[in-house]
């Protein structure tokens, strides 16, 4: 292997120093979203999902209470309502958080976004994993959500499972 000239060594060291500085600046300017900011963003998102669920429930009631609905579907209203709410929950979070916005409407309003561990946009698959892991966070008496107030990077259980961070913009 060829030995580097002093000029090449200097250029290489300057490149390494610049990359190190950029990484340090990126890390030092990263502010993780805390528990309360995330809580209020979830509250806003919950209201939006409640409205969407209400509209879907009214639509399903209208279909299932019609003579056509009763004869062809019977009374599967509760199952359809549950499945439609699950679908809204999943798609709302997974699509919007994996989009270029990187945040739901509630998160955008509070100036936070979802990233992977390197600060990049998450894929639909990762956002879906994060969304379904929220069910586990809730199942554990919401302790999975409360963890965001105590972990170093303000990660909730579902963030840790999916390999995500929630950061301030």
Is residue 24 in some structural domain? Answer: no
Is residue 30 in some structural domain? Answer: no
Tell me how many domains the chain contains: 1
Is residue 8 in some structural domain? Answer: no
Is residue 11 in some structural domain? Answer: no
pLDDT in tens, 52-83: 888 987 887 787 776 654 545 555 667 877 88
pLDDT in tens, 135-158: 999 999 999 999 999 999 999 999
Is residue 27 in some structural domain? Answer: no
Task: With beta carbons less than 8 A apart as the criterion, state whether 109 and 44 touch.
Answer: yes
Task: With beta carbons less than 8 A apart as the criterion, state whether 53 and 86 touch.
Answer: no
- The boundaries of the domain holding residue 126 are 35-168
pLDDT in tens, 78-112: 787 788 889 999 999 999 999 999 999 999 999 99
d(CA 104, CA 96): 6
Is residue 78 in some structural domain? Answer: yes
Q: What is the pTM of this model?
A: 0.76
Is residue 3 in some structural domain? Answer: no
């Amino acid at each position: 292997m060829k030995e580097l000239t002093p000029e090449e060594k200097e250029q290489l060291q300057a490149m390494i120093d610049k990359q190190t500085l950029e990484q340090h600046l990126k890390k030092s300017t990263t502010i993780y979203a805390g528990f309360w900011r995330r809580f209020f963003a979830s509250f806003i998102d919950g209201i939006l999902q409640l409205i969407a669920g209400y509209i879907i429930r009214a639509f399903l009631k209208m279909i299932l209470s019609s003579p056509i609905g009763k004869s062809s579907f019977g009374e599967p209203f509760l199952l359809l309502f549950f499945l439609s709410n699950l679908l809204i929950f999943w798609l709302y979070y997974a699509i919007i958080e994996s989009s270029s916005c990187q945040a739901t409407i509630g998160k955008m309003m509070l100036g936070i976004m979802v990233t992977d561990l390197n600060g990049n946009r998450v894929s639909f698959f990762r956002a879906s994993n994060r969304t379904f892991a929220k069910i586990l966070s809730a199942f554990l008496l919401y302790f999975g959500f409360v963890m965001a107030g105590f972990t170093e990077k303000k990660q909730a259980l579902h963030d840790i499972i999916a390999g995500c961070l929630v950061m301030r913009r």
